């Protein structure tokens, strides 16, 4: 099964005049490969999957695979609040050649814990692909209970959970209750989670500073906690500015200021407020990016 480990990026989707900019997307994927990123995740929340069509969704996954060409792992975002849609997208990811699939728990319809379990079970049983659960209750309105995580961990191809619940206590409980691999879904909590036994991060900030996120994660995995801590504190102010407003508005603003993309998003995501963009610019100057 896929080893869910290291510095993994939830890659942004660049747009130009309302359309996906595939040339720029390939350029961003190449940048991640060059930085040594351990896996690229197209079509996660950071990739604005909520406002891409299913056709675009599939095209972006395929473009990532074609660009990477086996040089790093590709884990497709295939989650949905419709189980049938999640099954369809995950089957596509498997057929296209992805190494795994990341599935956010069903959002908006707020299923019971049994509904969450049956949703993931149906997807997992429809493919042989390794599945990563994604707990982000701030976006979905429902937490995947620790007991539900333990039940799902018994399914043969449930490989890991991306934990973005903002609770170190919860991470402790998950690690104590099952053998499932845990990775951080909160950039600011990656190092504390790794102290407890998490194996890496699916990062937003790695879109901007992939080498530094990789260096921190590798240091932690190598038990060089002093270096990992130094990198954590160095990155933290920039991480905070990236999440001052909703993701991915922050990281796209930072990437625009750094000259990496034009910063275009799809509504209802809006540009950063002027005062927050100025704070971001100051953080980038302080970091040495601009």
The model's pTM is: 0.96
Q: Which residue stretches of 36-108 are H helix?
A: 54-68, 83-96
So what's the pLDDT on residue 38? 98
pLDDT means over runs of 10, the chain (290 residues): 94 98 98 98 96 97 98 98 97 98 96 98 98 96 97 97 96 96 98 98 98 98 98 98 96 98 97 96 97
3-state secondary structure of 108: coil
Looking at the annotation, which residues are catalytic? Answer: 134, 162
Report the C-alpha gap between 192 and 195 in whole angstroms. 5
Domains in the chain: boundaries: 6-220
So what's the pLDDT on residue 232? 98
- Element housing 270 (H / E): none
So what's the pLDDT on residue 237? 97
So what's the pLDDT on residue 253? 98
So what's the pLDDT on residue 1? 78
Report the C-alpha gap between 49 and 60 in whole angstroms. 10
3-state secondary structure of 109: coil
Give the closest residue to 10 by CA, choosing from 60, 53, 56. Answer: 60
6-220: CATH topology is TIM Barrel (3.20.20)
């Amino acid at each position: 099964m896929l080893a869910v480990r290291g510095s993994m990026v939830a890659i942004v989707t660049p747009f130009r005049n309302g359309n996906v900019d595939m040339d720029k997307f390939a350029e961003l994927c190449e940048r991640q490969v060059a930085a040594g990123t351990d896996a690229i995740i197209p079509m996660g929340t950071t990739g604005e999957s909520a406002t891409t069509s299913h056709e675009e969704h599939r095209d972006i996954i395929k473009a990532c695979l074609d660009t990477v060409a086996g040089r790093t792992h590709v884990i497709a975002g295939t989650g949905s609040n419709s189980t049938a849609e999640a099954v369809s997208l995950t089957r596509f990811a498997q057929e296209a050649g992805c190494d795994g699939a990341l599935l956010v728990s069903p959002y908006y319809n707020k299923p019971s814990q049994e509904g969450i379990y049956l949703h993931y079970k149906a997807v997992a049983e429809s493919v042989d692909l390794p599945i990563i659960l994604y707990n982000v209750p701030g976006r979905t309105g429902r937490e995947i209970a620790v007991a539900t995580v333990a039940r799902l961990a018994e399914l043969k191809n449930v490989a890991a959970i991306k934990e973005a619940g903002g609770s170190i206590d919860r991470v402790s409980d998950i690690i104590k209750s099952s053998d499932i691999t845990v990775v951080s879904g909160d950039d600011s909590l990656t190092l504390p989670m790794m102290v407890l036994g998490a194996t890496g991060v699916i990062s937003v900030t790695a879109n901007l500073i992939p080498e530094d996120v990789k260096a921190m994660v590798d240091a932690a995995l190598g038990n060089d906690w002093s270096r990992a801590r130094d990198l954590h504190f160095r990155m933290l102010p920039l991480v905070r500015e990236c999440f001052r407003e909703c993701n991915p508005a922050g990281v796209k603003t930072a990437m625009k200021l750094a000259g990496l993309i034009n910063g275009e998003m799809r509504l209802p995501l809006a540009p950063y407020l002027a005062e927050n963009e100025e704070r971001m610019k100051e953080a980038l100057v302080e970091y040495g990016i601009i």
